[in-house]
């Protein structure tokens, strides 16, 4: 083992031991059709009279938050509305929402939407309790360390799992960087899993967010920092996704499939928020920073290439996932693993997700790779450590001009 790989593994082992002492209690859940309508009364019962609602313009345009806002009014809860969150929330988004919270004298935060509004709301909370730290200074691990204001998360996509994770991802358009902030204090106090809010999702959002959840489950399970609970949650998420994602994609009104996908996203979020992610995310974050690539789409395309790179180091764990997905019974571990990777590619193809990207510039690859490795090493307990040349090689395979 090289000195660099030894350093990464030693760091990961120390983190695994240290994180065992952190508070891993997840959010309380409201779940089932119509559960979002229960939230205003819950908030009122907790004595809050004014909250900041963080969402985005697309959701406001189709009126999806309207019932929640009407419910708040009916419960005599005032609200300030921030609906300018971009698909990859920026430092400017966060600071604007924080200023609104302070100006309106809010006392809690509701995040309504996909991962972007939830990430924006998380970092708003972090800035409120750590006012002397800039957003770049909160980058990395355990920089928040203070309890956020009361925080309620309502996902409208089944993918990010952000309603239960300790992570928020921030984009800096000036530097084309996209990076995570990780701290258990970022976890919402309550999460609302209401499948009715996901029924109207476009097919391409259903597919890419669902594959985002699968990436969370896979990267958590094949990593080296699993606990009994994270492993179980990752396997269950994988089972639910393979059983329901195409039904949700092809029959968007199927409430049972939508509910199962929300559960899968939540379980995958529970898994990776403690067991971590891997190089798929490191590369995806930086494609997002460089080209504004939607995160779920990036993960869906990148995942099989990274699994190919891991090779035999991941085969035993991938075989378990194949079993959970109902694939390749009776075959060897290696055959099961290869079948699992092939089925990810086939699933992408059946849902119209491309196999490669046509926008990656060769001149950008060293920067993307360096930033991906800066994020991932030494923290992510991946099956096999990447060096710069490895990462560059994987990214080149993502380019349309390069055939895998």
pLDDT 10s digits, 187-208: 999 999 999 999 989 999 999 9
Long-range contacts of 373-378 (CB under 8 A, 24+ apart): 373/282, 375/179, 375/180, 375/281, 375/282, 375/285, 375/286, 376/278, 376/279, 376/281, 376/282, 377/8, 378/7, 378/8, 378/11, 378/12
Cβ neighbours of residue 373 closer than 8 Å, sequence gap 6 or more: 282, 386, 387, 388, 391
The pLDDT of residue 349 is 98
Rounded average pLDDT over 149-176: 95
The pLDDT of residue 91 is 96
The pLDDT of residue 202 is 94
Please determine, for residue 402, whether its predicted confidence score (pLDDT) is greater than 60: no
The pLDDT of residue 97 is 98
In CATH, the number for domain 202-397 is 1.20.1090.10
Report pTM: 0.95
| pLDDT tier for residue 331 given thresholds of 50, 70 and 90 | confident
| pLDDT tier for residue 219 given thresholds of 50, 70 and 90 | very high
**111: closest CA among 82, 146, 88?**
82
Q: What is the largest CA-CA distance in the chain?
A: 63
Options 3.40.720.10, 3.40.190.10, 3.40.50.1970, 3.30.428.10; CATH for 23-198 is 3.40.50.1970
* Residue whose tokens read 């450590």: 385
Rounded average pLDDT over 113-130: 97
Judge if 23-198 and 202-397 fold alike in CATH terms: no
CA dihedral for 181, 184, 189, 192, sign (positive or negative):
positive
**Per-residue DSSP letter, 148:** P
Is the N-terminal amide bond of 378 cis, ω within 30° of 0? yes
The token pair that represents 401 in the structure block: 């001009």
The pLDDT of residue 320 is 97
| pLDDT tier for residue 404 given thresholds of 50, 70 and 90 | very low
Return the domain boundaries, the chain. Answer: 23-198, 202-397
pLDDT, tens digit, 9 for 90 and up, residues 267-316:
999 999 999 999 999 999 999 999 999 999 999 999 999 999 999 999 99
Cβ neighbours of residue 340 closer than 8 Å, sequence gap 6 or more: 307, 318, 319, 321, 322, 325, 327, 328
The token pair that represents 319 in the structure block: 């075989």
Contact 270, 26 (CB under 8 A): yes
The pLDDT of residue 116 is 95
């Amino acid at each position: 083992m090289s000195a660099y790989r030894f350093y990464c593994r030693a760091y990961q082992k120390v983190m695994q031991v240290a994180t065992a002492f952190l508070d891993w209690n997840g959010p309380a859940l409201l779940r089932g059709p119509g559960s979002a309508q229960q939230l205003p009364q819950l908030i009122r019962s907790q004595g809050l009279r004014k909250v900041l609602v963080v969402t985005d313009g697309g959701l406001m345009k189709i009126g999806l938050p309207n019932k929640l806002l009407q419910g708040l009014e009916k419960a005599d809860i005032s609200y300030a509305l921030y609906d300018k969150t971009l698909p990859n929330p920026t430092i400017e988004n966060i600071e604007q929402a924080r200023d609104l919270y302070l100006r309106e004298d809010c006392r809690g935060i509701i995040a309504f939407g996909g991962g972007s509004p939830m990430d924006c709301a998380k970092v708003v909370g972090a800035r409120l309790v750590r006012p002397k730290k800039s957003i770049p200074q909160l980058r990395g691990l355990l920089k928040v360390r203070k309890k956020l204001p009361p925080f309620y998360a309502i996902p409208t996509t089944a993918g990010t799992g952000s309603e239960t994770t300790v992570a928020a991802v921030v984009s800096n358009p000036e530097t084309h960087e996209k990076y995570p902030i990780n701290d258990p204090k970022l976890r919402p106090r309550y999460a609302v899993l209401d499948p009715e809010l996901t029924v109207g999702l476009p097919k391409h959002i259903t597919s890419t967010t669902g594959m985002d959840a699968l990436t969370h489950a896979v990267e958590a399970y094949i990593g080296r920092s699993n606990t009994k609970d994270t492993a179980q949650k990752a396997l269950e998420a994988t089972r639910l996704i393979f059983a329901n994602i195409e039904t949700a994609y092809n029959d968007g009104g199927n409430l049972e499939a939508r509910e199962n996908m929300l559960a899968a996203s939540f379980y995958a979020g529970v898994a990776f928020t403690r067991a971590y992610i891997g190089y798929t995310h490191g590369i995806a974050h930086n494609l997002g920073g460089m080209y504004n690539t939607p995160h779920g789409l990036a993960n869906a395309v990148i995942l099989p290439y990274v699994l190919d790179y891991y090779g035999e180091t991941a085969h035993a764990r991938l075989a378990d996932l194949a079993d959970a997905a109902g694939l390749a019974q009776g075959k060897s571990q290696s055959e099961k693993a290869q079948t699992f990777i092939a089925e990810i590619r086939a699933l992408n193809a059946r849902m119209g997700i491309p196999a490669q990207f046509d926008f990656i510039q060769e001149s950008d690859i060293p920067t993307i790779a360096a930033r991906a490795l800066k994020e991932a090493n030494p923290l992510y307990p991946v099956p096999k450590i990447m060096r710069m040349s490895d990462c560059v090689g994987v990214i080149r395979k993502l380019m349309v001009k390069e055939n895998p």
